[in-house]
């Protein structure tokens, strides 16, 4: 099980939100996202998850300068998957040229499936699709709009397009430290052949152990955010435990 620390960037700072609320529930954990990236590398991370929160809201990259600095600092040793504001092929090409290993496409994949298909064709092996859901229905626009699209239906469709993996977030739990939605994550993983990365609500070592127990269903990794920054999970110990369970 690949445990992936998250660095969510808003206005150049490392923050965490609750349920995607950028306006009223923002906690700043660091003014230096580059130092934070180095920290996770030192703790033994094997991949980093970065989100340009301003970009997710505006639809265009906003924090690209600090993201470039992160990649320059750790990118040779630590693969980066990046989401937020990725809505056209030129942006993907620019980020991959900068050294990003995977781009994460969410809202644009749902609203413009043709764009996702083109992205998978042009940048095969580098595209992860994000499905953010509540009650089995997919949300878009920084989670502010709930659609009628079913998670598993879209998962199968995007797999056919050539997505490398699916990042699944239960937005009702994200940032709430309420525990990961194992059932919904497994349900999606059983309907697709590509790997699923779990996200949203992972709060304790118990959650990680539960995810490891269903890794064989196709759950490749998990995003860790608030639980790391608030000290509920020690990253190094958690990754060692996940490796032990996989062994």
- Catalytic residue set: 8, 132
Residue 12 has a CB neighbour count (10 Å cut-off) of: 13
CA distance 126 to 130: 13
CA distance 161 to 145: 24
The 3-class secondary structure across the chain, one letter per residue, is CEEEEEEEEECCEEEEECCCCCCCCEEEEECCHHHHHHHHHHCCCCCEEEEEHHHHHHCCCCCHHHHHHHHHHHCCCCCEEEECCCCCHHHHHHHHHHCCCEEEECHHHHHCHHHHHHHHHHCCCCEEEEEEEECCEEEECCCCEEEEEEHHHHHHHHHHHCCCEEEEEECCCCCCCCCCCHHHHHHHHHHCCCCEEEECCCCCHHHHHHHHHCHHHCEEEEEECHHHHCCCCCHHHHHHHHHHHHC
């Amino acid at each position: 099980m690949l445990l992936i620390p998250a660095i969510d960037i808003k206005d150049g700072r490392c923050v965490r939100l609750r349920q995607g609320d950028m306006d009223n529930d923002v906690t700043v954990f660091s003014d230096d996202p580059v130092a934070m990236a180095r920290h996770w590398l030192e703790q033994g991370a094997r991949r980093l998850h970065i989100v340009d929160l301003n970009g997710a809201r505006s639809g265009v990259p906003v924090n690209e300068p600090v993201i470039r600095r992160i990649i320059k600092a750790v990118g040779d040793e630590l693969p980066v998957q990046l989401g937020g504001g990725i809505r056209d092929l030129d942006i993907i090409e620019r980020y991959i040229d900068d050294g990003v290993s995977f781009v994460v496409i969410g809202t644009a994949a749902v609203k413009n499936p043709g764009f996702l298909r083109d992205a998978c064709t042009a940048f095969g092996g580098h595209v992860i699709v994000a499905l953010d859901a509540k009650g089995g229905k997919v949300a878009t626009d920084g989670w502010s709009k709930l659609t009628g699209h079913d998670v598993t239906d879209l998962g199968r469709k995007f797999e056919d397009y050539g997505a490398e993996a699916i990042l699944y977030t239960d937005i009702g739990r994200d940032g709430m430290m309420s525990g990961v939605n194992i059932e919904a994550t497994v349900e999606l993983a059983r309907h697709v052949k590509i790997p699923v990365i779990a996200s949203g609500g992972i709060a304790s070592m118990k959650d990680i152990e539960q995810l490891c127990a269903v890794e064989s269903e196709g759950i490749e990794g998990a995003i860790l955010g608030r639980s790391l920054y608030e000290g509920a999970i020690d990253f190094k110990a958690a990754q060692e435990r996940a490796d032990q369970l996989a062994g």
